[in-house]
Structure 1
């Protein structure tokens, strides 16, 4: 390919990756999907491609749907160990964030709820809500009718019902995370429970991401007890981590989060899902394969001072 043809694809890369990430919930799979699309673009007779952006969107969307429908993906999601891959605020893969719908479509809560949808419903929801495609355009991308696209969107909206969240900037995230860490390290469960909604729940992939299935905390009391235990330092935990970690306040997928690091290595992240001014959910992620892109983004940036310099 000539330089101009490569440049045309590269101009669309971030948008294509953002579509694939929302569909797949995995940055690694999204990157692979975009690379597969590049190979298709390379092999295509581009003289017959009237609108490259539309052509590439169709290719990426359908490649992502093929991945969702694969036996491997169905197995991974069925065994109870699947969780969306977190992304650090400012990552171009998060895509557009101009509207409430665009911002909410990339939260881990919504990415998880999209597991309830069929692949086609998922594609219609993402393209319409996050990228403002019209039903006629979606119908052409997915080879369905306009009426079918409208029906898929109606069903998807009915299955993805989340409480509206307030927008979180870095200053607000730091205040939320600071209060959370203070309560978590106080040794008092009641201080943690005071930060939680009455129906708060938690989800974790275990220490080091080693749990065979995700660990669920179904009540505020169980969640608070687990958090207090997890944030209590000990020599054994420091040996497991390889040293004494630091803790930072960050924004991940639009939510305040505690980022735990050792040097420039990210050990884990605890994402706090807010409802009004309380924590309605916590997702703790420590598996290295879920933290690859977040770690790479973290290592490329300058950071604010840690809330906890040596745990």
Structure 2
């Protein structure tokens, strides 16, 4: 870590808390870059602090990172969580034979990208309270200090945030219907059934393809349907959940990833398709393999 020395006991103590601090900041801010900035700022503040006055270093650092993250959220200076076609390193991908990310995430376990999207709908103070309490088990009293609120007011804030998160989580029945729509699209692509493709595609569907030569975007159901060959290859792949959305992974014979597709479905039609077929970008993603 820049600015620390391995022989420095304070630096060593900070490093022992780094992973947790980074996890807190990332889940509050939704950006790895912002999380790194927040943790680095916490180190700078610690290096200027008389550590003899700190009784609980972990608690002190969590409070500092929480305050820094809250300030970033309130100021609007955070980097927005971008679509998966712009941040391949932040894909969360599981095979559909495995538990889906949102099925693994109870309100108190680690938060995946699907839930980060939900958290974007919360106010900064709600987001911080929910993440610190329900994910990292920080007490309402400690959170109240960060927010400048009473313990009771913080409890109410966390409860309100929790209700919003629970209301926004997609029901299992919806996930199944979305996968069925994607399945119909893949079958039509494989069989070359143009009219069927038009039925499952939204008229203003957006199809983004990342290739070694760059990113290409196609708009409109007719245009997308005529370019469904990429999806036809994926039809022989393995169903997956990509950032909480239905998707497909395909592999080459040597076991290297061939393509990753993710679909957004609304009102029974596909509104967006992202296809990643650039080997260099695919290599950045921790992709599961059924073998």
Per the normalisation by structure 2, the TM-score is 0.61
Question: In the aligned structure 2, how far is the partner of 1:230 from the partner of 1:33?
Answer: 43
How far apart are 1:158 and its partner, in Å? 3.2
How far apart are 1:146 and its partner, in Å? 0.7
Instruction: Please give the residue correspondences for 1:1-311 in structure 2 after superposition, counting only pairs within 5 Å.
Output: 1=5, 2-73=7-78, 82-83=82-83, 86-88=90-92, 100-103=106-109, 105-108=111-114, 110-160=115-165, 161-163=167-169, 185-188=190-193, 206-208=208-210, 231-233=228-230, 252-253=242-243, 257-258=247-248, 270=262, 284=274, 296=284, 298=286
Deviations 1:212-235 (A, max 9, x none): 9xx9x9xxxx9x98875664239x
Question: In the aligned structure 2, how far is the partner of 1:203 from the partner of 1:123?
Answer: 34
Question: In the aligned structure 2, how far is the partner of 1:138 from the partner of 1:40?
Answer: 19
Question: In the aligned structure 1, how far is the partner of 2:223 from the partner of 2:161?
Answer: 33
The answer on whether the counterparts of 1:271 and 1:282 sit within 8 Å (CA) in structure 2 is yes
Distance change (3 Å), C-alpha of 1:178 and 1:136: same
The answer on whether the counterparts of 2:200 and 2:269 sit within 8 Å (CA) in structure 1 is yes
Distance change (3 Å), C-alpha of 1:138 and 1:303: same
How far apart are 1:271 and its partner, in Å? 6.4
Aligned to 1:127, what secondary structure does the other structure show? helix
Question: In the aligned structure 2, how far is the partner of 1:104 from the partner of 1:34?
Answer: 19
**The structure with more radius of gyration:** 2
Distance change (3 Å), C-alpha of 1:88 and 1:107: closer
The answer on whether the counterparts of 2:105 and 2:111 sit within 8 Å (CA) in structure 1 is no
Unaligned runs of at least 5 residues, structure 2: 95-102, 173-181
The answer on whether the counterparts of 2:263 and 2:270 sit within 8 Å (CA) in structure 1 is no
How far apart are 1:58 and its partner, in Å? 1.0
Unaligned runs of at least 5 residues, structure 1: 91-96, 167-176, 235-245, 306-311
Distance change (3 Å), C-alpha of 1:155 and 1:50: same
The answer on whether the counterparts of 2:207 and 2:224 sit within 8 Å (CA) in structure 1 is no
Per the normalisation by structure 1, the TM-score is 0.58
Distance change (3 Å), C-alpha of 1:52 and 1:104: closer
